Amino acid sequence: MTKKRVAKPWELSPTTRFDDRAELYAKYRPSYPAEAIDCVLEGLGDPAGLLAADIGAGTGIVSRLLAGCGVSVRAVEPNAQMRRVAEQNEHVHWTEGTAEKTGLDDHSVDLIVSGQAWHWFEPNATCKEMSRIAIPGGRLALLWYDDLPGNEPSQEYRRIVEPGAKETFGIHAVEQWEPTLAPPLDHKKCERFEFEYAYRLDLTGLIGRARSASYVPHEGLDADRLVREMTEMHARFAESDGFVTMGLLCIVHRYAL
């Protein structure tokens, strides 16, 4: 009898590949700096009067930050487990949908955001959908994280998880993830902003953050290697309280629609 092959994470579809990672994602993924959220909202008027769509919302990291500013948010997420673990918020309405087919009304949202997710979307169908749901004169804001140059803990973390990232995307640096907009948005001018951000993780958090990534295995030799090397990293960089300070660079791409 032939043993059934278990698919590796990067061979699963974007809709299902986070099924066993949603709780890790919610617990260990970094938030975004307040300055980045201010940048997303800058010039749009009173946040309480805005309706935003968070596309590929995951467990609602960006949605909660926008809601905390008074924005009403439609969080669009195809993964049921991600939606299940998302923190409930009276200003956030969750809906099952994809970037290519959000299910939102025509020209209904003032702001479209996507945090650490645009690379999962098919550009042509997504840009048509974004054009359909945005009001004339609305805004698209895309957020990513990269390692803060010169920050040793972040560079070491990247070295440990990089093999899976390269096998998944063939890339690992956010500079190589520069978004490409397709028609009818391909002529839109991009404003690019950078914000430094630090967050702190203990050993459990370092391993948990790594395991929240779609390309990091939870079992087998590669999983054992990750735990071993994260333990060594923690021993090298942990401060007196047992936490490692990770330096990140939050990058915002902002477009007027």
Q: What domains does the chain contain, in order, with CATH numbers?
A: 12-148+170-198+247-256 (3.40.50.150)
Regions of the chain where pLDDT drops below 50 = 1, 4-12, 169-175
pLDDT value at position 197? 95
Identify the DSSP state of 95. Answer: E
DSSP annotation of 174 reads G
pLDDT for position 177: 58
Q: What is the pLDDT of residue 246?
A: 96
Q: How far is residue 115's CA from residue 74's CA, in Å, rounded to a whole number?
A: 14
* Euclidean distance between CA atoms 83 and 13, whole angstroms: 17
Tokens matching residue 72: 């009403």
pLDDT at res. 164: 59
Residue 60, Cα to own-chain centre: how many angstroms?
Answer: 10
Phi-psi region of 56 (alpha: psi -120 to 50; beta: other; left: phi over 0): left
Task: Tell me what pLDDT residue 9 has.
Answer: 34
Cβ count within 10 A of residue 142: 25
The secondary structure element, H or E, covering residue 76 is strand 72-76
Q: What integer pLDDT is reported at residue 223 of this predicted model? A: 83
Q: What is the pLDDT of residue 175?
A: 47
Residues 86 and 105: beta-carbon distance below 8 Å:
no
- Give every CB contact of residue 97 below 8 A, 6+ residues apart in sequence: 76, 77, 78, 103, 104
pLDDT of residue 172: 45
